[in-house]
Amino acid sequence: MAPQQTLYKLKQSPGKGLGIFATQHIKPGTTIMRDRVLMKVYKPDHRPPDEALVVAAYNSLDNSQKKESFLRLHEGSRPYSSKVMRIYMANSFRSRTEFSNYVLPKMSRVNHSCTPNTEKAADDDDKDIEILVAAKPIAKGEEVFLGYLGFPASMTRTVRTKLLSARYGFDCDCLACTLDPASTAIGDAPVRIEPVDWSNIDLVTPENVDTIEGAIGRVRLALGAKPTLQEETAYWIMAAKLCQAEGFISSQVATFYKQAATRLRTHMHCLAEGRLVISDSARILYDWLKEAGDIANETRGYDAMVTKDMRAAWKETMATDVGLAMRMIKQHDDAYLRNDGSDCVLHDAFAIALEDPKQGRVAIIPKDGCLELLRRNLGKNKSGQ
């Protein structure tokens, strides 16, 4: 791998000021830069810190070089009385683990996209270092982008546009924000992946964006009843598919697929303790787990923690009876597609029952027989047997 300093350069970006550009082709999962925290401000809660705290943190920087590095960053346009506060609010990142915001001198030069080609991640060995990782293939000469809104797939296009304009003074021209008219329904779909109420977003202005409740959304009230496994499965797979439809491809999408697969596997295990497996459910489970692993590997690399987590989910599933059935059905599907003359009888089976999992002995269950078994099992559950 080439030295990190050769992977990017700082230059003018049309309409965006300075930006970071790739100096060579960058593969997904590649660490583009490592950046040490320049300034950190602790605060009592999720709200922005008082201006006095920010100015005090700046004054406490231990040498003039650090102060000069800070003052060279983009000032932004929010109506604060001090330049230090304007720079801080335009460039600070929120901590994932504590009530603090921090400034990264190099990463702050990366411009925004709602569909970024990188992800920011913590360094495993140093809590004061963040790394920028390629989440997609980046061509030589292509600009490197990072998302400023956390995970914007939780917001409609209207919400994203309003927040970016109020906080940073620009309109995003990424793929998700410039959908053609026929695709507008995707970008402003009322069903989003986070239970957040953005109904006050029209009240947001540059003057109140850092304090008004509408600018951070309000968590909706809890559901009246705990969602079923089927509802939870549908929730997570819809989240993953919606992200992909708008171009939000990141390791978090891999996590959505894993969440959906985990719940589907649990539901499948409830059918005769995993000994009765609906064939199409097994195929779907296989596809979701594979998609989770592929996305994690492509966006963060083989050795990343999230990718290891996906491999662990795959291994855990394969160790169950559901996993055994899934593997057998997949093998028969592959043989059927190859048309190699093998016994592909499971390819057309509605469901299979594992008679002897260790020996791989199964019984093919037609649809009518499967429904009868399910009704019988449901009756036993209701009677307490």
168 and 263, same structural domain? no
| Residue 286 forms part of a structural domain | yes
The one-letter amino acid code at 139 reads A
Residue 198 or residue 350, greater confidence = 350
pLDDT category, 37, cuts 50, 70, 90?
very high
DSSP H/E element including 33 = strand 31-36
pLDDT above 70 coverage of the chain, percent: 79
Instruction: Indicate whether 259 belongs to any domain.
Output: yes
Position 168 in a domain: yes
Query: What would the pLDDT profile of 198-243 be if each residue is shown by its tens digit?
Result: 777 888 888 888 776 656 655 554 455 677 888 889 888 988 888 8
pLDDT of residue 196: 64
**238 and 126 assigned to the same domain:** no
Domain annotation covers residue 206: no
* Helix pair 83-91, 64-71: axis angle to 10 deg: 70
With 50 as the cut, is the pLDDT of residue 3 above it? no
Last residue of a domain, one of 187, 219, 244: 187
Domain-terminating residue out of 187, 203, 238: 187
The answer on 253 and 113 residing in a single domain is: no
C-alpha span between 41 and 202 (Å, rounded)? 29
- If asked whether residues 165 and 269 sit together in one domain, one would say no
| Whether residue 335 sits in one domain with residue 275 | yes
Please state the rounded mean pLDDT for residues 54-75. Answer: 93
Tell me the per-residue pLDDT of 246-285, one tens digit each, with 9 for 90 and over.
778 888 899 999 999 999 999 888 776 657 788 889 899 9
Domain shared by 161 and 281, yes or no: no
Of the candidates 243, 241, 318, the one whose C-alpha atom is nearest the C-alpha of residue 286 is 318
Ranges 162-166, 178-182, 222-226: which has the least confidence: 222-226
Residue scoring higher pLDDT (162 or 376): 162
Q: Are 298 and 310 in contact (CB under 8 A)?
A: no
**More confident of the two residues 7 and 378:** 7
Looking at the structure, tell me whether residues 295 and 355 fall in a common domain.
yes
Q: How many domains does the chain have?
A: 2
Q: Give the pLDDT band of residue 191 (cuts 50, 70, 90).
A: very low
**DSSP for 325-352?**
HHHHHHHHHHHHHHT-S---GGGG-SEE
d(CA 247, CA 341): 41
Same domain, 157 and 275: no
Q: Helices marked H in the chain — which ranges?
A: 51-59, 64-71, 83-91, 157-168, 184-187, 229-246, 251-269, 279-300, 305-318, 321-338, 367-383
247 and 115 in one domain?
no
In a domain, 366, yes or no: yes
Among 295, 14, 231, 265, which Cα is nearest to 141's? Answer: 14
Q: Is residue 168 domain-shared with residue 276, that is, in the same domain?
A: no
Is the pLDDT assigned to residue 2 strictly greater than 50? Answer: no
Least confident range of 44-58, 99-113, 257-271, 288-302:
44-58
91, pLDDT greater than 90: yes
CATH number for 130: 2.170.270.10
Q: Would you state the torsion angle of the CA atoms of residues 267, 271, 277, 280, taken in this order, to the nearest 10 degrees?
A: -50
pLDDT at 317 over 70: yes
Tokens of 11: 């230059």
Whether residues 157 and 271 fall in one domain: no
Residues 263 and 160 in one domain: no
Q: Is the pLDDT of residue 50 over 90?
A: no
Span between the terminal Cα atoms of the chain, in Å? 62
Tens digits of residue pLDDT in 105-154: 999 999 999 889 999 988 878 888 999 999 889 999 999 999 998 766 66
| Residue 345 resides in a domain | yes
Amino acid in the structure at residue 284: I
**DSSP string of 164-211?**
HHHHHS----SGGGS--GGGHHHHT-S--SS-EE-TTGGG--TTTTTT
Of 161, 187, 213, which residue constitutes the final position of a domain? 187
Residue 374 lies in a domain: yes
The per-residue pLDDT for 24 is 95
344 has pLDDT over 80: no
Q: Work out the pLDDT band at 314, boundaries 50, 70, 90.
A: very high
Q: What is the pLDDT of residues 357-380, one digit of tens each?
A: 566 677 777 777 666 766 665 555
Residue 205, domain member (yes or no): no
As a whole number, the mean pLDDT across the chain is: 82
- Containing domain of residue 242, as a range? 229-383
